[in-house]
C-alpha cells in the first residue's frame, strides 16, 4: 500500500518535473528511475535510505556515471 502510494507520487513528480525542466541527470539511471527501481526491488523500508544516499550524491561536485540499484 505504501509502496504503491510512493510509486504514484514518484510518477506525479516525474510528470511535473519533465514539463518544467529538461532531462539533465548526471547519473544513469536517472534519480527518478533509480528511486522507482529501488522501490520495486527492495520495498519502502530498504529503498528510502538508498534513494536518500543517491540524492545526496546528486550535486555538482560528484562526477555521476553508471549507478545501478543493488
- Cα–Cα distance, 59 to 5 (Å, whole number): 27
Q: Which residue has the cell 514539463?
A: 19
| pLDDT digit string (tens) for the chain, length 70 residues | 788 888 888 778 887 877 777 777 888 988 888 999 998 999 889 999 999 999 888 888 888 889 898 8
State the cell numbers at 14: 516525474
Question: Given this model, what pLDDT does residue 58 score?
Answer: 85
Question: Given this model, what pLDDT does residue 13 score?
Answer: 83
Range(s) of the domain holding residue 58: 2-66
Counting the structural domains of the chain, the total is: 1
- Cα–Cα distance, 29 to 39 (Å, whole number): 14
Question: Given this model, what pLDDT does residue 50 score?
Answer: 93
Question: Given this model, what pLDDT does residue 23 score?
Answer: 72
- Cα–Cα distance, 11 to 7 (Å, whole number): 6
Amino acid at each position: 500500500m505504501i509502496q504503491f502510494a510512493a510509486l504514484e507520487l514518484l510518477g506525479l513528480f516525474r510528470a511535473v518535473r519533465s514539463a518544467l525542466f529538461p532531462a539533465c541527470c548526471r547519473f544513469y539511471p536517472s534519480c527518478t528511475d533509480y528511486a522507482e527501481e529501488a522501490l520495486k526491488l527492495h520495498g519502502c523500508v530498504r529503498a528510502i535510505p538508498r534513494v536518500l544516499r543517491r540524492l545526496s550524491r546528486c550535486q555538482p561536485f560528484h562526477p555521476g556515471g553508471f549507478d545501478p540499484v543493488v
